[in-house]
């Protein structure tokens, strides 16, 4: 069973305590200036966005089938069995393929650094393994960000929609998107308005499948193509040999 976060924007009061708890947990600087930044970055893994009087949190979705992990040439990203998608900085070569691959544009880069790292929310893996909640869920005063088993949270999200249908857009964002994510979002507005990619656009197919379909053919392709190339080589050179031998024979024949 894997852990997940349920974020319900209708309960969120926009206090940004999750931002500061996240910064503290990940040893990032946090002051009024950072708090005012309306975008995620290498020093701000989560952001609470405000639109009119409504709020929306953005955070790494921790996909069930993470594209970032599948594309990393050195396997610096991986999904743990508890749910978090984590990053092993010592493996990273800095190719930034994870950044281009992520449908939610979550991995950010330390552009100014001479030994840059990819930065993103890693869902407090140490705390999760120790059986604790993530820092953001623990500090949330209203329970807008809730930590728990993914299946339980899905059930709870469905109940909330059922009990209060007027309050919600009737869907759980992250339930099936790109094959499901470990962050689930409930909202009274379409999450697309806050910069999340549209469900229709990203689809329900796990992103790694798009390259997987090609990559899975490689092991078969190599021997087949080698045989074909070798065959062509053999045939064309055999032809040459035969032609040479025939010419030789002719020469000998005409000589006698």
Binding site for another protein (CB under 8 A): 41-42, 67, 70-76, 91-97, 99-101, 103, 105, 108-109, 111-116, 197, 201-203, 207-208, 210-215, 218, 221-222, 225-226, 229-230, 232-233, 236-237, 239-240
Least gap, CB of 198 to another protein (angstroms): 8
Closest CB to another protein among residues 35, 99: 99
What six digits make up the tokens of 256? 């006698």
Tell me the closest approach of the beta carbon of residue 180 to another protein, in angstroms: 16
What is the smallest separation between the CB atom of 234 and another protein, expressed in angstroms?
9
Q: In this complex, which beta carbon is closest to another protein, that of residue 111 or of residue 166?
A: 111
- The torsion angles phi and psi of 65, rounded to 5 degrees, stand at -125, 80
Q: Which is nearer to another protein, 142 or 236 (CB)?
A: 236
- Tell whether the torsion through CA atoms of 91, 62, 191 and 28 is positive or negative: negative
CA distance 43 to 31: 12
CB of 75 to another protein, least distance (A): 4
Q: Pull the structure tokens for residue 249.
A: 């024979």
Q: Which is nearer to another protein, 155 or 238 (CB)?
A: 238
49, β-bridge pairs: 56
| Contact call for residues 99 and 56 (beta carbons, < 8 A) | no
Instruction: Give the per-residue SS3 of 111-135.
Output: CCCCCCCEECCCCCHHHHHCCCCCH
Q: Which long-range contacts (CB under 8 A, 24 or more apart) does 209-212 make?
A: 209/65, 211/70, 211/71, 212/70
Q: Specify the residue, 74 or 129, whose C-beta has the smaller distance to another protein.
A: 74
Pair type for strands 3-8 and 183-186? parallel
Q: How far is the CB of 166 from another protein (least distance, A)?
A: 31
Between 131 and 219, CB nearer to another protein: 219
Least spacing, CB of residue 216 vs another protein, in Å: 9
Answer for the pair 161, 174: CB distance below 8 angstroms, yes or no: no
């Amino acid at each position: 069973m894997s852990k997940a976060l349920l974020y319900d924007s209708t309960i969120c009061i926009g206090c940004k305590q999750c931002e500061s708890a996240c910064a503290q947990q990940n040893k990032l600087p946090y002051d009024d200036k950072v708090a005012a930044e309306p975008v995620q970055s290498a020093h701000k893994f989560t952001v609470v966005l405000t639109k009119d009087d409504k709020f929306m949190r953005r955070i790494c979705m921790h996909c069930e089938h993470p594209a970032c992990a599948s594309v990393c040439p050195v396997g610096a990203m991986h999904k743990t069995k508890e749910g978090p998608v984590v990053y092993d900085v010592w493996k990273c070569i800095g190719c930034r393929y994870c950044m281009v691959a992520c449908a939610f544009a979550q991995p950010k880069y330390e552009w100014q650094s001479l030994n840059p790292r990819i930065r993103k929310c890693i869902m407090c893996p140490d705390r999760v393994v120790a059986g604790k909640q993530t820092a953001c869920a623990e500090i949330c005063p209203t329970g807008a960000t809730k930590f728990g088993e993914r299946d339980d949270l899905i059930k709870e999200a469905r109940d909330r929609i059922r009990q209060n249908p007027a309050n919600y857009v009737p869907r759980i964002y992250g339930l099936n998107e790109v094959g499901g994510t470990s962050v689930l979002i409930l909202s009274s507005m379409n999450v697309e308005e806050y910069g999340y990619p549209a469900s229709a656009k990203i689809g329900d197919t796990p992103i790694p499948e798009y390259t997987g379909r090609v990559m899975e053919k490689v092991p078969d392709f190599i021997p087949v193509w080698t045989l074909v190339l070798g065959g062509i080589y053999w045939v064309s050179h055999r032809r040459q040999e035969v032609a040479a031998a025939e010419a030789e024979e002719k020469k000998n024949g005409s000589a006698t």
